[in-house]
Amino acid sequence: MLCFSDYLLAACVMVNEPVDVTLLRKFSPLDGLRRQNLIALSKKAAVQAIPAGRPLFREGDADKNAYYLVRGDVELRSGTEVVDRLKGGTPAAKNAIAPSKPRRYGAYATTAVDVLVFEADLLDVLLTWDETGIYDVSEFTASAPVAAGDWMGVLLGTGLFHHIPPSNLQAIFMRLQRVTHRAGEVVIKQGQDGDYFYAIIEGRCAVTRETPLNRAGLKLAELGPGETFGEEALISEAKRNATVSMLTDGVLMRLDKKDFHSLLHDPMQQWVTYAEGAERVANGGAKWLDVRLPSEFESSHLPDAINLPLCFLRPKMGTLDKKTPYVAVCDTGRRSSAAAFILNGRGYNTVVLKGGLPGANLFSGR
């Protein structure tokens, strides 16, 4: 049996050596996980040593980690008041330390302590898969000859599947096609129609764009295992806006356009009306993200909007803040939908303005 267990790979704590599964079984609800999922968790967890007097986290923190006390003593404090004390190895330490978010209490080491740390959402996903996501390897026709656990783990590690129902995931994996390419081969060509969405399992690819001044192609990005491409043309119904070619021999998994929309893209998208988007921005909780070309943006745009064109999104998305929600906008909703799909698959929080930008009276031109 194979479980979908490497989801949230990029967001989790990464260490050189996996944590001992025996240690994980000492805590709840980790002790209820199937062994395959425990092994996956062990690769994403870390045991951290914290000196006496140092905080594990502070009251009001909204960090995403789960903490379990392995050894030593910890105090939980509300302000200056001590509300509880935990000692490693006791029944009270079997559960996560003050797990609510934002943190109701601060946790402080009163002796030198060791704490088990991992992404809390990862545990939630693994618990979900224990109940709903166990499938026999033979169900997935795309698995051979790449090891099924390897390629499934890589794909689930992309972060694209956070909002995908388990039944959709099963269907996606059954419909994926495995393709191999040699170094130098072109996978998709700029100017062609979009037909497939791709995920890299092995090898590396170069993304280049031809311009009137650079017919050889300007290199935009280099992609490796776990990264995806090809979604922009499928979502926006436009021609391919770049060429992707193999830098090395590699293995790709691809999903055709129809399945991509029905099983992956549509379930991930959250649309908002202009009034809903404006309310989010006005309340200070979100920013407009205009993904049109600079010339379009310069002509007219929403007040205080950020301009990051879709064609430059991959190399420049690091300029955005993952803690800030965004409302992606364009003229019709196609480009902004593609941008939201890319960003959400990489840990950003992005919704899409339904129907595209409203009338000119809502713009502030330069």
The DSSP code sequence of 178-201 is EEEE-TT-EEE-TTSBP-EEEEEE
Rounded Cα–Cα distance for residues 96 and 67 (Å): 6
Tens-binned pLDDT, residue by residue, of the chain (366 aa): 333 333 323 333 333 357 899 999 999 888 877 787 788 788 889 999 999 999 999 999 988 899 999 999 999 999 999 999 999 999 999 999 998 888 999 999 999 999 999 988 777 666 655 554 443 333 333 334 444 445 666 666 666 665 666 667 767 877 888 999 999 999 999 999 989 999 898 999 999 988 777 777 788 889 998 888 988 888 777 788 889 999 999 999 898 988 888 877 776 678 899 999 999 999 878 999 999 888 788 888 898 999 998 878 888 889 999 999 999 998 888 888 888 888 887 888 999 998 888 643 344 444
CATH 3.40.250.10 fits 269-362, yes or no: yes
What pLDDT does 41 receive?
A: 85
- pTM for this one? 0.51
Three-state secondary structure call for residue 66: strand
CATH classification for the domain delimited by 2-125, as one of 2.30.300.10, 3.30.420.40, 2.60.120.10, 3.40.50.300:
2.60.120.10
What pLDDT does 160 receive?
A: 66
Topology match between the domains 137-266 and 269-362: no
Sort strands 134-135 and 2-3 into parallel, antiparallel or unpaired.
antiparallel
Domain-wise residue ranges, the chain: 2-125, 137-266, 269-362
User: 137-266 maps to which CATH number?
Assistant: 2.60.120.10
Look at the chain and count its residues. Answer: 366
Question: Of the candidates 284, 270, 236, which has an alpha carbon nearest to the alpha carbon of residue 348?
Answer: 270
